[in-house]
Amino acid sequence: MSGGVDSTVAAALLKERGFEVIGVTMRLWDGEEEGSCCSLSSVEDARRACYKLGIDYHVLDFRSDFEKNVVDYFVDEYKNARTPNPCIACNRFLKFDAMLEKARLLDADLIATGHYARVERDEKSGRYILRRARAKEKDQTYVLYSLTQSQLSKMYLPLGDIESKDEVRGIARRLGLDIADKPDSQEICFVPDKDYASFIERYGGAKSEPGDFIDSQGNFLGRHKGIINYTIGQRKGLGIAFGKPMFVTRINPETGEITLGEKGSEFSSKLIADRLNFITFDAADFEPFEALAKVRYAASPAPCRVAPIGGGCASVEFETPQRAVTPGQAVVFYDMDFDRCIGGGTIKQ
């Protein structure tokens, strides 16, 4: 329980449905700032909500796991010219892995969260499947694609069948919860000011070295302030004027060079993904398939063909080029009805 309206209403719905509910807040980071999902005020909001709902409440310490699996990963990815997704890592390694171990110690059978998605068991295949939430604008299957069959079997997502966020807030008002109109948390909890570069330099203990902007032919265009300050597809904040739109198309961590291209160069029709995880079938040996894919959380689903290429990787070819295909980010696959999440992987190149 983060102290927000989603997880609080999820707990309330579980209690109404007859479950024995225990509220748990995960202590993740020592530097929690006010306004983040891990702040002291959020912990107090969660505590008050549990008191109001009449359920037990615990704060559990996951700081070591969080630092290793989320913060270190976040910093290392940026240093290697990749753009990480810490929320996916947190879901995979903390909320539905380390937390599952703690749940067993509390004699809990399932883990429930305020995520907008649906988990169901497919009777024909015997596999657990991940379906998009009924509240399509809030769907969070993109950040849950990496979960395993074992993890999905222990999940319960009460908000998956809710039609809208307004309905969730309405339930909170009906229950007299004072967090009914609390704004959603938008930032990364350990970088609430969104200054990723300063955090990486402060946490990693090394300043990012300036380097060269070049074009696709290797011609010098200017100087940049360090690769951790940039991401693929970026146009604004380059620190140099060209008289026309220029986009980051490649970042080379070995040379420190950042390649820029003119409008149109930020689009790609194919990518290679690794760290694959499939939900609807066993990933050990899969056949090529057609799917809809999202290359970012907010991206529109795009038709593509996914094929194995060996080495635990897959090629993904799109019918129409996609903007800012970014190494380190997730590519997530859905069936052609855009309902079931097939799985996904990390964009390698």
Please identify every residue annotated as catalytic: 90, 189
Sequence-separated contacts (24+) of 190-198 with Cβ below 8 Å = 190/28, 190/29, 190/31, 190/36, 190/38, 190/70, 190/71, 190/74, 190/86, 192/33, 192/35, 192/36, 193/33, 196/78, 196/228, 197/226, 197/228, 197/229
CA 44 to chain centre: 25
H or E element in which residue 112 lies:
strand 111-112
What gap in Å lies between CA 262 and CA 247, rounded to an integer?
6
H-state helical runs in the chain: 5-16, 40-53, 63-66, 72-79, 86-90, 99-105, 149-152, 165-174, 196-204
Residue type, 307: A
Q: How many residues does the chain have?
A: 349
In terms of Cα–Cα distance, which of 231, 242, 344 is closest to 295? Answer: 344
What gap in Å lies between CA 49 and CA 8, rounded to an integer?
7
Q: What are phi and psi of 278, to 5 degrees?
A: -115, 140
Q: What is the DSSP string of 7-57?
A: HHHHHHHHHHTT---EEEEEE--TT--TTSTTSHHHHHHHHHHHHHHT-EE
What gap in Å lies between CA 326 and CA 282, rounded to an integer?
26
